[in-house]
């Protein structure tokens, strides 16, 4: 064991030693290799063998243990000797326990070997007994086989005799049944034939394997096939001769043929299908081709409804004449309808292929009649079974669960008590009521369902099975059976709708008065037409046709209407931007008149021959709007707002109406965005018009020689006029603009006004200190007493406090930029840079400071010196910011505290030596004991 670790200079400071140092001390103290188990193993050992002794824990640290027991030198001197005696006694007890355990284990080993020998002898004895039992069992089995050998032969003989007797009885029954079947067929006793046919089929199944090996059986099969052939021919002949008994003996014939249907059923599905098909073509629909022969007036496409009426008469005649003959589960009326639909579909396809001048109006009428016919027939014939009804209920419940989950997630994002929250609550209540209704229907249907009775035995089960057997098996879906043939020709309908909408839009624009006071609105009429057109088309198709109508017609004419409104919007030039027309999308080239622009627009929209260009002609660009033109701008803004909102509603309605996959492909966001652009352009026209009204006051401000102003007085005259102009104009604008768009107008006006004011300040060239002070006072009065309260001028309750505070904050931010310019001018050269950086904040630049210095009467070298000071100050602030960041990063790291050297190290070293001696003595004793044993 190395002694270097015990010297005071190398003893670690307790409480801050590293893991490696602690492990090294552990090894020195014990003198043996320290085994470190994993955390999971230590945890498992602690659960099995819980310990209280600190020496037993895997995290035992001798240094920490010594520091705990001897915190200082005084404690070491007073307690060390007594502690060592205590540890030695403990070690002695442990040694004694170990010795006793070893002796006990030695005696237990001897006893264990003795028990093992006894168990081995017992197993061998048991194995011998099992072998003897197995041998005796085999002997007993052989004895039983010898006893029952004769009995088995008798049993086989009895079984063969029983089979022979049964077979002979069945053969006799089969012969008798075939004879009776032949006789009943000749006498046309079809009810008895049907009953015997089922019995003969069942008997023949048991002789199927002897069909080709026994001549007698082969003969019976041949006779039966001959009887079936004769019966089939006789039945078909009886149904053909039905018309011969129209007057005399019809009741007897109906009774005969009604029983004949039972015989047809016994011959199999193929015979029944052939008979029904022959009846439908030769009896029910034999005059169809003659009635609607090509070239006749009734055969024209526009008279397709006559064919559907004709079928209703055929079905009525069938019910009167043949309803008592054919059973319901044969579904003869349904088969008549299917055959009629196939023939009508072929006729329609031929007419569509040959119809060169097919009009959209005719096509719409034909499709509407066809769809109505299909729905009527579907409702009349289609009878869903129990399983389909249950599946439909389950699907509805699943959809309700999905909708309820979506509403629950949405409610978590919406503030409680808000209108949106109330709306969600109403929808959740409706879903709950609907789910309860579905559950009630499901319970009632389950009680009356015949599916339960089918699972029961006895007479009840037989009756239910018979009902299921007799139930109509008609499962054709008549929806789209005929109307699907129109899909390839729906472009004609789309073209018809496009032409109709083009004419409608032209009429709407012709009727438009462009007057806010008029009750008529072209935008309302346009959307009424779109909604009606959408409803009409959805009655025909909720898939591709409706989707194409949206893509090719609705979108096109919404964009056309937006272009017309944009062209109608007056054009005005802003004093802030003298070379640009503010109305986006409404500008015309300098050489083109408004009339030429309108004519070009009408030609592009395809309305040149329908709409007079005077209806949408606009005046050329001008500086100010007349009152009538202002009202026109208000009207266009409100129309654009109406269209924007209704486009969203139409899109939602289309998503609910269209079927997969088209419902997710509807997107009218571009059209909505175009009307928003129109609305924005209208607001910009109003902003520029108001700015142009105040053009004279801005010109007056530029005419003042600010460099020679030597006193500061009350606010300037042009500022008073501007404030009065705004106080007169704002209530007028607020009266005709929707609240949200009025706020949008105010936001845009502040941007334009502050930009123009800043530009004018820079154009004033030079400012004296008093001139800058006067300008600062003017701006302060204008901001404080007018601009900050712009949105509530004329009506303090127009907006709530939060909206007013938010708007005032925007105004203050813009005003601060102007204040920065003027306060920088007022400062002496030494303080100018600091003042500029203070008011400019992070939005400062050399270019802006250079422009500000041009407003101050300075020499060139003074300007250069100020700019150099600015760059130095900016660099200095950047370095200071970087240094603060570095200090913040370094302060987050901490250093380990060190212990106190000196007497403590000496004390710990002494304690460590004595503890090592005690532990080494104990380990030597244990090793010696193990070697001796």
Same domain for 498 and 535?
yes
Alpha carbons 487 and 504: distance in angstroms, whole number: 26
Same domain for 505 and 618?
yes
Same domain for 26 and 69?
yes
DSSP per position, 505-520: HHHHHHH----TT-S-
Alpha carbons 467 and 453: distance in angstroms, whole number: 11
The mean pLDDT value of the chain amounts to 77
> 477 lies in a domain?
no
DSSP per position, 122-137: HHHHHHHHHHHHHHHH
How many distinct structural domains can be found in the chain? Answer: 5
pLDDT at residue 457 in the model: 43
Alpha carbons 246 and 204: distance in angstroms, whole number: 40
Q: Mean pLDDT across the stretch 838-864?
A: 85
Same domain for 447 and 538?
no
- Among the listed ranges 344-358, 402-416, 716-730, 841-855, which one has the minimum average pLDDT value? 402-416
Instruction: Tell me whether residue 898 is exposed, middle or buried, using C-beta atoms within 10 angstroms of its C-beta: 0 to 12, 13 to 18, 19 or more.
Output: exposed
pLDDT band at 171 (very low <50, low <70, confident <90, very high): confident
Cβ pair 1, 31 in contact under 8 A: yes
Cβ pair 276, 335 in contact under 8 A: yes
pLDDT tens digits, 26-45: 444 444 455 666 777 777 77
Cβ pair 594, 619 in contact under 8 A: yes
pLDDT at residue 109 in the model: 74
pLDDT tens digits, 784-817: 888 888 889 888 888 888 888 999 999 998 888 8
Predicted confidence (pLDDT) at residue 250 exceeds the cutoff of 70? no
Same domain for 317 and 399?
no
* Other beta carbons within 10 Å of 426: 9
pLDDT tens digits, 685-733: 999 999 999 999 999 999 998 988 888 888 899 999 999 999 999 999 9
Same domain for 517 and 453?
no
pLDDT at residue 577 in the model: 46
pLDDT at residue 1 in the model: 39
Q: Mean pLDDT across the stretch 429-457?
A: 64
Alpha carbons 14 and 22: distance in angstroms, whole number: 10
Region of residue 841 (left: phi > 0; alpha: psi -120 to 50; beta: else): left
More confident residue, 69 or 898: 69
Locate 27 and state its tokens. Answer: 């090894």
pLDDT tens digits, 281-297: 887 788 888 888 887 88
Same domain for 275 and 417?
no
pLDDT band at 556 (very low <50, low <70, confident <90, very high): very high
pLDDT at residue 357 in the model: 63
> 190 lies in a domain?
no
Q: Mean pLDDT across the stretch 149-170?
A: 82
Q: Mean pLDDT across the stretch 107-133?
A: 85
Alpha carbons 69 and 61: distance in angstroms, whole number: 13
pLDDT band at 265 (very low <50, low <70, confident <90, very high): confident
> Which of 333, 352, 383 is where one domain is finished?
383
- Among the listed ranges 278-282, 336-340, 488-492, 858-862, which one has the minimum average pLDDT value? 488-492
Of the CA atoms within 13 Å of residue 889, those in its CB half-sphere come to: 6
Alpha carbons 442 and 394: distance in angstroms, whole number: 9
> 261 lies in a domain?
no
Tell which residue, 119, 215, 27, 30, has the closest CA to residue 922: 30
Looking up tokens 């909206």 gives 803
> Which of 470, 500, 534 is where one domain is finished?
470
Domain that holds residue 74: 6-160
pLDDT at residue 8 in the model: 39
More confident residue, 459 or 527: 527
* Other beta carbons within 10 Å of 538: 16
Same domain for 635 and 495?
yes
Alpha carbons 148 and 168: distance in angstroms, whole number: 30
pLDDT tens digits, 593-631: 444 454 555 555 555 544 444 444 454 555 788 888 999
pLDDT at residue 309 in the model: 92
pLDDT tens digits, 16-28: 444 444 444 444 4
State whether residue 416 is helix, strand or coil. coil
Q: Mean pLDDT across the stretch 204-232?
A: 84
Predicted confidence (pLDDT) at residue 378 exceeds the cutoff of 50? yes
> 915 lies in a domain?
no
pLDDT band at 160 (very low <50, low <70, confident <90, very high): confident
Tell which residue, 784, 761, 786, 774, has the closest CA to residue 852: 761
Predicted confidence (pLDDT) at residue 241 exceeds the cutoff of 70? yes
- The 8 Å CB, 24+ separation contacts for 239-247 are 239/275, 239/278, 239/279, 242/283
Locate 158 and state its tokens. Answer: 């009895």
Locate 605 and state its tokens. Answer: 């929209």
Instruction: Tell me whether residue 553 is exposed, middle or buried, using C-beta atoms within 10 angstroms of its C-beta: 0 to 12, 13 to 18, 19 or more.
Output: buried
Q: Is the dihedral of CA 431, 434, 438, 439 positive or negative?
A: positive
Locate 473 and state its tokens. Answer: 């098996």
pLDDT at residue 448 in the model: 52
Q: Which residues make Cβ contacts (< 8 Å) with residue 382, sequence separation at least 6?
A: 474, 475, 476, 477, 478
> 892 lies in a domain?
no
Q: Which residues make Cβ contacts (< 8 Å) with residue 612, sequence separation at least 6?
A: 510
Tell which residue, 234, 126, 148, 222, has the closest CA to residue 186: 234
> 795 lies in a domain?
yes
Predicted confidence (pLDDT) at residue 868 exceeds the cutoff of 70? yes
Predicted confidence (pLDDT) at residue 330 exceeds the cutoff of 60? yes
> Which of 681, 700, 720 is where one domain is finished?
681
> 184 lies in a domain?
no
Same domain for 735 and 625?
no
* pLDDT more than 90, % of the chain: 15
pLDDT tens digits, 4-13: 333 333 333 4
Same domain for 442 and 507?
no
Locate 283 and state its tokens. Answer: 């009896």
Locate 119 and state its tokens. Answer: 């168990």
For residue 834, is the peptide bond before it cis, meaning its omega torsion is within 30 degrees of 0? no
Predicted confidence (pLDDT) at residue 896 exceeds the cutoff of 80? no
Q: Which residues make Cβ contacts (< 8 Å) with residue 163, sequence separation at least 6?
A: none
Predicted confidence (pLDDT) at residue 558 exceeds the cutoff of 80? yes
pLDDT at residue 843 in the model: 78
pLDDT at residue 688 in the model: 92
Domain CATH for 802: 1.10.357.70
Same domain for 379 and 393?
no
pTM over 0.75: no
Q: Mean pLDDT across the stretch 199-226?
A: 84
Same domain for 721 and 852?
yes
> 925 lies in a domain?
no
State whether residue 442 is helix, strand or coil. helix
The b-or-e profile of 244-282 (16+ CB within 10 A means b, else e) is: eeeeeeeeebbebbebbbbbbbbbeeebeeebbeebbee
């Amino acid at each position: 064991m190395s002694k270097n670790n015990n010297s005071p200079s190398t003893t670690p400071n307790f409480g801050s030693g590293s893991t490696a140092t602690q492990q090294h001390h552990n090894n020195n103290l014990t003198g043996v290799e320290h085994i470190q188990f994993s955390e999971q193993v230590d945890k498992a050992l602690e659960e099995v063998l819980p310990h209280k002794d600190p020496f037993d824990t895997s995290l035992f640290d001798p240094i920490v243990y010594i520091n705990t027991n001897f915190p200082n030198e005084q404690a070491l001197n007073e307690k060390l000797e007594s502690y060592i005696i205590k540890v030695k006694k403990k070690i002695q007890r442990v040694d004694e326990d170990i010795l006793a355990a070893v002796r006990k284990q030695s005696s237990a080993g001897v006893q264990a070997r003795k028990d093992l020998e006894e168990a081995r002898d017992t197993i061998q004895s048991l194995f011998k007994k099992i072998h003897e039992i197995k041998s005796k069992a085999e002997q007993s089995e052989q004895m039983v086989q010898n006893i029952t050998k004769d009995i088995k032969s008798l049993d086989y003989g009895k079984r063969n005799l029983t089979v022979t007797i049964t077979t002979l009885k069945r053969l006799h029954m089969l012969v008798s049944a075939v004879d009776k079947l032949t006789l009943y067929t000749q006498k046309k006793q079809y009810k008895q034939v049907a009953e015997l046919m089922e019995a003969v089929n069942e008997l023949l199944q048991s002789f199927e394997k002897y069909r080709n090996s026994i001549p007698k059986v082969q003969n019976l099969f041949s006779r039966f096939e001959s009887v079936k052939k004769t019966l089939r021919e006789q039945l078909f002949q009886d149904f053909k001769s039905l018309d011969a008994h129209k007057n005399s003996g019809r009741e007897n014939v109906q009774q005969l043929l009604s029983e004949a249907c039972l015989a047809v059923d016994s011959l199999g599905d193929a015979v029944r299908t052939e008979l029904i098909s022959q009846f439908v073509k030769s009896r029910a629909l034999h005059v169809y081709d003659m009635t609607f022969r090509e070239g006749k007036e009734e055969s024209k496409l526009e008279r397709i409804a006559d064919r559907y009426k004709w079928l209703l008469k055929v079905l009525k005649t069938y019910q009167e004449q043949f309803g008592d003959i054919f059973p319901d589960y044969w579904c003869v009326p349904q088969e008549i309808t299917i055959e009629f639909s196939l023939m009508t579909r072929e006729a329609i396809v031929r007419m569509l292929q040959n119809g060169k001048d097919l009009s959209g109006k005719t096509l719409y009428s034909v499709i509407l009649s066809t769809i109505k016919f299909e729905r009527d027939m579907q409702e009349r014939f289609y009878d869903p079974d129990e399983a389909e009804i249950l599946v439909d209920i389950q699907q509805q419940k699943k959809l309700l669960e999905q909708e309820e989950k979506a509403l629950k997630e949405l409610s978590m994002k919406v503030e409680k008590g808000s209108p949106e929250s109330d709306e969600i609550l109403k929808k959740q209540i409706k879903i709950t009521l609907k789910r309860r209704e579905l559950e009630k229907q499901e319970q009632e249907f389950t009680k009356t369902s015949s599916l339960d009775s089918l699972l029961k035995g006895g007479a009840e089960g037989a009756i239910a099975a018979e009902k299921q057997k007799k139930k109509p098996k008609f499962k054709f879906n008549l929806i789209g059976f005929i109307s699907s043939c129109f899909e390839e020709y729906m472009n004609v309908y789309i073209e018809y709708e496009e032409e109709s909408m083009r004419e409608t839009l032209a009429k709407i624009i012709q009727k438009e008065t462009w007057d806010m006071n008029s009750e008529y609105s072209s935008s309302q009429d346009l959307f009424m037409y779109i909604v009606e057109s959408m409803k009409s088309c959805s009655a025909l198709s909720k898939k591709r046709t409706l989707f194409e109508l949206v893509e090719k017609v609705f979108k096109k004419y919404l964009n056309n209407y937006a272009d017309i409104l944009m062209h109608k919007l007056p054009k005005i030039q802003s004093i802030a931007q003298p070379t640009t027309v503010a109305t986006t999308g409404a500008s015309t080239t300098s050489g083109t008149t408004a009339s030429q622009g309108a004519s070009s627009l009408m030609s592009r929209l395809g309305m040149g021959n329908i709409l007079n260009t005077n209806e949408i002609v606009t005046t050329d660009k001008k500086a100010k709007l007349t009152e009538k033109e202002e009202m026109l701008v208000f009207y266009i803004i409100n129309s654009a707002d109406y269209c924007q909102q209704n486009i969203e509603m139409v899109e939602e309605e289309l998503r609910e109406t269209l079927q997969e996959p088209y419902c997710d492909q509807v997107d009218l966001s571009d059209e909505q965005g175009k009307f928003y652009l129109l609305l924005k352009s209208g607001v910009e026209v109003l902003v520029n018009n108001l700015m142009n009204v105040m053009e004279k006051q801005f010109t007056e401000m530029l005419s003042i020689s600010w460099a020679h102003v030597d006193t500061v007085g009350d606010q300037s005259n042009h500022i008073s006029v501007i404030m009065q102009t705004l106080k007169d104009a704002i209530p007028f604008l607020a009266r005709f603009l929707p609240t949200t768009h009025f706020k949008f107008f105010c936001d845009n006006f502040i941007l334009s006004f502050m930009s123009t004011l800043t530009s004018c300040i820079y154009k004033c060239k030079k400012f004296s200190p008093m001139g800058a002070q006067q300008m600062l006072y003017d701006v302060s009065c204008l901001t404080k007493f007018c601009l900050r309260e712009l949105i509530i001028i004329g009506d303090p309750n127009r907006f709530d406090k939060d909206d007013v505070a938010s708007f005032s904050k925007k105004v203050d931010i813009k005003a601060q930029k102007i204040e920065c310019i003027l306060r920088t001018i007022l400062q002496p050269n030494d303080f100018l840079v600091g003042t500029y950086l203070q008011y400019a904040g992070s939005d400062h630049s050399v270019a802006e400071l250079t422009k500000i210095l041009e407003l101050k009467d300075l020499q060139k070298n003074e300007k250069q010196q100020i700019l150099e000071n600015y760059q130095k100050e900016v660099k200095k602030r950047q370095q200071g910011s970087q240094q603060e960041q570095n200090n913040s990063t370094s302060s987050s790291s901490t250093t380990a505290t060190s212990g106190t050297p000196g007497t403590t190290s000496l004390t710990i070293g002494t304690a460590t030596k004595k503890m090592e001696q005690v532990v080494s003595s104990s380990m030597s004793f244990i090793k010696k004991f193990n070697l001796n044993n």
